[in-house]
A and B are shown apart, each in its own frame.
Chain A
Amino acid sequence: MATDPIHQFQISKLIPIEIGGLDFSFTNSSAFMLATVLGAGAFLFLTTSSRGLVPGRLQSISEMAYEFIASMLRDAAGSQGMRFFPLVFSLFMFVLVANLFGMVPYFFTVTSHIIVTFALAILVIGTVLVYGFWKHGLKFLNLFVPEGVPAALVPLVVLIEVVSFLSRPVSLSVRLFANMLAGHITLKVFAGFVTSLSAFGAVGVAGAVLPLAMTVALTGLEFLVAFLQAYVFAVLTCMYLNDALHPSH
């Protein structure tokens, strides 16, 4: 069981809760969501508690994260987009910290479950739709009709635009989910090779050096992916929010 690469994604109930026939148990996933939120929140809160005019190392990290997301959002959606700053920052921090927590051995990776990433993606697209229609009314539908397209092509272009819009939550969620899932499985498989090869005596141990090196390299790669996916998620969120703010192409 320990070498099964899928086992790490298993949900196990810690406190069974059942409401209306649905299972709302507090699971290991819930525990790590809580840990992610508490960890990220406590970090941001405690590192800035001294409000240093000259920041220390940890305060610099919080400030860098703040300015990183703020400039990303401002570049993508203009200064009007800053009203979504708490949302984008929360998403980025949640995904980043959840991904990084997932890198700790024996920890559960919250973002390796499609339902979590899909819910976050729906939150983004839902925000875009609600804000877009609330702010621009039916003009928001201009989003699907690019300017300067010949009349004959409009139906086709609109169809393509609608499909691409609808595929956004899917691509947004599947990208993150698949990256985390595939990365962790790969890591586990290579680490599994090390243990199973070393069971074959001296030759096996010698042969296990290769997958061990691979595991080390992959661990580094996975840390990169953990950050990169959080970044990609935040960047795409900014771009989608830009559509809600400025629907005309």
Chain B
Amino acid sequence: MIAAALMCQATPKGKAMFVAPAYAQTPATDAETHTETGVADHGAGEPAFPPFETESYPSQLLWLAITFGLFYLFLKKVALPRIGSILEVRRDRIAQDLDQAARMKEEADEAVAAYEQELADARKKAGAIAQEARDNAKAEAEAERREVERSLDAKLGEAEARITEIKSAALKDVGTIAEETAGTIVQELIGGTVDKKSLTAAVKAVGQ
């Protein structure tokens, strides 16, 4: 009704196009019966531009308060805590996963260290076993060598003893033969017999 009055004032100025069709359809008769309101509105300011039409302010303020108020409450009570908790959970989860990864890495490092320790031990042990085997073999070889040497020595001694025996026997035989031969030669040369004693002494003296 107010706008209808407005339209009456606005039309002569050529501003009819700024008036909403809803208002424009208001029966013109209304304008006559409410001239006072039209005047009052004129005092409130230039109304042709919608954002400055003060009569729409109470409605806009009320509905803004209702809608924005509910929006604020909804966000504060429901939406924002939910998004906040989603982000929180994710942050926690990431931190937890990082912790776990660090722990696993530590475990892996420990395992590697243990493995290397074991490897070193095994190597040392293997070395010891090899050394022992080598030593045993050497000792065995040595013992065998000694055994062989000893038996060789024994055989050598035996052989030497036999040689000496044979030699002495031979030498003894040589004396006897020489005596007999010398006796025979002397007998043949000078005839007669030569006593055995002097023969032995003579052979001995030659032998020396």
By a beta-carbon cutoff of 8 Å, the part of chain A in contact with chain B is 1, 4, 6-7, 9-13, 17, 22-27, 29-30, 33-34, 36-37, 40-41, 44-45, 48, 51-53, 55, 59, 62-63, 66-67, 85-87, 89-90, 93-94, 112-116, 119-120, 177, 181
Cα distance A201–B63 when bound, in Å? 47
* Interface-located stretch among B18-26, B111-119, B134-142: B18-26
Contact indicator per residue, chain B 50-70, by CB within 8 Å of chain A (1) or not (0): 111101111111111101101
Which of B49, B55, B78, B90 contacts A23, CB < 8 Å? B55
The answer to whether A85 and B67 have CB atoms under 8 Å apart is no
B63 near A53: Cβ-Cβ < 8 Å: no
Q: How far is the CB of B60 from chain A (nearest CB, A)?
A: 5
Residues of B within 8 A of A11 (CB): 20, 50, 53, 56, 59-60
Q: Do A44 and B79 touch (CB < 8 A)?
A: yes
Does B89 interact with chain A (Cβ within 8 Å)? yes
Chain B: CB-nearest residue to A47 = B83
Q: What secondary structure prevails in chain B residues at the interface with A?
A: helix
Contacts of B74 in A (CB 8 A): 41, 45
Alpha-carbon gap, A36 to B79, bound state (A):
15
| A12 touches which of B20, B65, B79, B89 (Cβ 8 Å) | B20
Residue B87 CB within 8 A of the other chain? yes
B76 interfacial contact with A, CB 8 Å: yes
- Of the candidates B68, B72, B87, which one forms a contact with A67 in the assembled complex, judged by CB atoms under 8 Å apart? B87
A33-B67, A53-B89 known; A10 and B83 CB under 8 Å? no
How many residue-residue contacts, CB under 8 A, span A and B? Answer: 135
Q: Which residues of B contact A12 (CB under 8 A)?
A: 20, 22
User: Which residue of A24, A51, A63, A86 is within 8 Å of B59 (Cβ)?
Assistant: A24
A4-B17, A6-B18 known; A114+B59 contact, CB < 8 A: no
B86 interface contact, C-beta 8 A: yes
Determine how close the nearest CB of chain B comes to the CB of A32; give it in whole angstroms.
9
Contact of B59 with A27 in the complex, beta carbons under 8 Å: yes
Q: Nearest-CB distance from B26 to chain A (Å)?
A: 11
- Distance, CA A114 to CA B60, complexed state (A): 10
Q: By the criterion CB–CB under 8 Å, are A41 and B79 in contact?
A: yes
Partner among A1, A34, A48, A86 whose Cβ is within 8 Å of the Cβ of B67: A34
Q: A44-B83, A66-B80 are in contact. List 10 more A-B contacts (CB 8 A).
A: A4-B17, A10-B20, A33-B67, A34-B63, A41-B71, A45-B74, A51-B89, A85-B80, A90-B68, A113-B60
B65 CB contacts on chain A under 8 angstroms: 119
Say whether, besides A1-B21, A23-B58, A87 and B72 are in contact (CB < 8 Å): yes
